[in-house]
Amino acid sequence: MTTLPTETPATDPDSSVDYDVAVGGGGAAGLSAAVFTARYGLETVVFDGGKAAITQCAHVENYLGFPGGVSPDRLLALGRTQASDEGATVVDERVTAVSRHDEEATRVDDEETQFVVATTDRETVADRVVVAAAYDGDVLEPLGDALPEPDPFVPTDAGRTDIDGLYVAGWASDETVHQVGVNVGHGTRVGLTVARDDMSERYWPAVGERYVDWVVHEGRYGGDGWTDHIDEWFEEEMRPADDDLGPATVEQTRDDLAAEFLGREIDETERRRRDRAGQRRLLDHLDDEVIREYAAELDATETSE
């Protein structure tokens, strides 16, 4: 997991924010966005309930990585497990409305715009909100004229809407077509956008634009070569324009980035451990009957050899 060095607002006990990111909708797009925001280090909650597009599909047969297809319920359960394993909290509650915490607040004045996400059971204050509720775009109605009328989908740019800190992912956005793969991909795009916006604020835009979520082999960044080039790379691609500078200093930012890239490396032992752990996590989601049947077939093959 990539862990950035600076603490995020929701981890600050003095903050009035409950979560850095609240995602409304735990389907293909919402869970994918949550995986990315949680891995980046933002405290993330996903509220899920209401009408889904994906469960109307009988069997998903065109989503890469599942030869033979996968049931929508199994795919969503796998996605929930992954989002939870990465640190997101998934709650079975339907979002009823998204509104501004303070109509007057702007990120420039108050650092955090903040939204209130109302669900059937509670109100949650979040610094950023991702609406991934497929057909339930009317949860945005309390925001009034600040957003253009969906026609029929909400206009977005990499998930961003006209309201700073509010994003729309998946089916409800005008950037997608309606296939599971595209909407998982759009959720990924939006999750990255949220991370990049956070990083742009904490550093400056040229740094945020470079953020990716990669895990690499040991030596890829720390071995011969790469670290020698970090200064050059930083100068060429991330040196801030004067008016870009956020709260961080150039030197500190370069050191933070070097540390973050080195933190992406895993050695061979760790890679093998993760590969095995990942396979076991998949097994958790298979029917016991199928696992037993397969094990019996393996036993029979070994006995006959």
Ligand X SMILES: Cc1cc2nc3c(=O)[nH]c(=O)nc-3n(C[C@H](O)[C@H](O)[C@H](O)COP(=O)(O)OP(=O)(O)OC[C@H]3O[C@@H](n4cnc5c(N)ncnc54)[C@H](O)[C@@H]3O)c2cc1C
Q: Which is nearer to ligand X, 190 or 238 (CB)?
A: 190
Distance of closest approach, residue 59 Cβ to ligand X, in angstroms: 7
Distance of closest approach, residue 287 Cβ to ligand X, in angstroms: 21
Instruction: Work out whether strand 19-24 and strand 123-131 pair parallel, antiparallel, or are unpaired.
Output: parallel
User: Which of 66, 82, 62, 51 has the alpha carbon at shortest distance from 181?
Assistant: 62
Q: Which residues bind ligand X (CB under 6 A)?
A: 24-30, 47-54, 56-57, 60, 62, 94-95, 132-134, 136, 139, 170-171, 178-181, 183
User: Which of 164, 219, 171 has the alpha carbon at shortest distance from 193?
Assistant: 164
Q: What is the 3-state secondary structure (H, E, C) of 88-153?
A: CEEECCCEEEEEECCCCCCHHHHCCCCEEEEECCCEEEEEEEEECCCCCHHHHHHHHHHCCCCCCC
Give backbone dihedrals phi and psi of 115, rounded to 5 degrees, phi first.
-125, 155
Q: Which is nearer to ligand X, 62 or 106 (CB)?
A: 62
Question: Hey, what amino acid is at 86?
Answer: E
Q: Which is nearer to ligand X, 94 or 101 (CB)?
A: 94
Q: Which is nearer to ligand X, 48 or 256 (CB)?
A: 48
Distance of closest approach, residue 15 Cβ to ligand X, in angstroms: 24
Determine the longest span between alpha carbons in the chain, in angstroms.
75
60 SS3 class: strand
Q: Which is nearer to ligand X, 156 or 183 (CB)?
A: 183
The residue sitting closest to ligand X, measured at its beta carbon, is: 27
Distance of closest approach, residue 174 Cβ to ligand X, in angstroms: 12
Residues 6+ apart with CB under 8 A from 299: none
Rounded to an integer, what distance in angstroms lies between the CA atom of residue 98 and that of residue 44? 16
Other Cβ atoms less than 10 A from the Cβ of 144: the count is 10
160 forms bridges with which residues in the sheet? Answer: 157, 167
Distance of closest approach, residue 102 Cβ to ligand X, in angstroms: 23
Long-range contacts of 155-159 (CB under 8 A, 24+ apart): 158/189, 158/190, 158/193, 159/33, 159/130, 159/186, 159/189, 159/190, 159/193, 159/194
Distance of closest approach, residue 38 Cβ to ligand X, in angstroms: 17
Q: Which is nearer to ligand X, 45 or 258 (CB)?
A: 45
Q: Which is nearer to ligand X, 181 or 240 (CB)?
A: 181
Distance of closest approach, residue 73 Cβ to ligand X, in angstroms: 10
Q: Which is nearer to ligand X, 75 or 258 (CB)?
A: 75
Rounded to an integer, what distance in angstroms lies between the CA atom of residue 31 and that of residue 88? 9
Distance of closest approach, residue 166 Cβ to ligand X, in angstroms: 15
